[in-house]
């Protein structure tokens, strides 16, 4: 099982400190697997392999912060659901972890009546990891880290963020990607926008059972 912890809006650096405490506790066996659900004030974060030309210039007016995770540059802000997964992954590979996160988000969106899918990355091409809601419309980004058998960082699902913020840089090293959101999809389909609490509940419910490689009641990492 995964314990879901609702945190509301938390500044990025403060959230990283909280996540690091959770990692230490999980590694010491003081807690079980956890999912931190939160939002950030506007911030652009970037993974360690991001190129300088993929980042915005100073005129954008949004803090740009390096992140100790995989993936490239992305935006976090109000209207987005961020999930940080601190779980035991000793019995899984990195691709298995990422695939599970993708598929779990897809199930949550299906529960909400939204069709989405994952994409395989062609050899030699930029990564297509994440969740997609159209041929070139990405609705969720994923960037994670595994260290000493424990995962950290996680995903960002667009509920109703300011999508214009993604135009200031190259999201996920995909210059032609169009970031979308649940609000935008609802508007295009002439439907009412999903409530933030409803989305959080669906995501928490789908992650609660834990990954397929983990026993239901794992509480200690040796």
Residues marked active site are found at: 172
Quote the CA–CA distance of 169 and 47 in Å, as a whole number: 14
2-41 CB burial, b ≥16 within 10 A, e <16: bbbeeeeebebeebbebbeebbeebbeeebbbbbbbbbbe
Quote the CA–CA distance of 152 and 168 in Å, as a whole number: 27
Which residues contact residue 47 at a Cβ distance below 8 angstroms, ignoring those fewer than 6 apart? Answer: 67, 69, 70, 71, 72, 73, 143
Quote the CA–CA distance of 91 and 179 in Å, as a whole number: 33
Quote the CA–CA distance of 41 and 49 in Å, as a whole number: 24
Query: How far is the CA of 156 from the CAs of 52, 76, 100, 139, in angstroms?
Result: 22, 7, 15, 8
């Amino acid at each position: 099982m995964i314990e879901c912890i609702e945190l509301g809006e938390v500044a990025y650096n403060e959230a990283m400190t909280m996540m690091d405490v959770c990692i230490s506790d999980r590694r010491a066996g003081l807690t079980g697997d956890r999912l931190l659900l939160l939002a950030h004030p506007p911030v652009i974060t970037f993974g360690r392999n991001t190129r300088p030309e993929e980042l915005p210039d100073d005129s954008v007016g949004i803090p740009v912060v390096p992140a100790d995770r995989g993936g490239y540059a992305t935006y976090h802000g109000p209207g987005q659901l961020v999930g940080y997964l601190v779980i035991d992954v000793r019995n899984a590979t990195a691709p298995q972890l990422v695939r599970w996160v993708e598929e779990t988000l897809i199930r949550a969106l299906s529960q909400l009546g939204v069709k989405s899918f994952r994409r395989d990355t062609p050899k030699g091409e930029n990564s297509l990891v994440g969740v997609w809601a159209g041929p070139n419309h990405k609705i969720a980004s994923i960037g994670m880290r595994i260290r000493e058998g424990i995962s950290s960082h996680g995903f960002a699902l667009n509920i109703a963020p300011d999508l214009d913020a993604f135009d200031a840089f190259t999201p996920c090293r995909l210059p032609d990607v169009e970031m979308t959101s649940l609000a935008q999809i609802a508007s295009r389909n002439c439907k009412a926008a999903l409530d933030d609490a409803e989305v959080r509940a669906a995501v928490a419910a789908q992650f609660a059972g834990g990954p397929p490689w983990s026993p239901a009641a794992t509480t200690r990492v040796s």
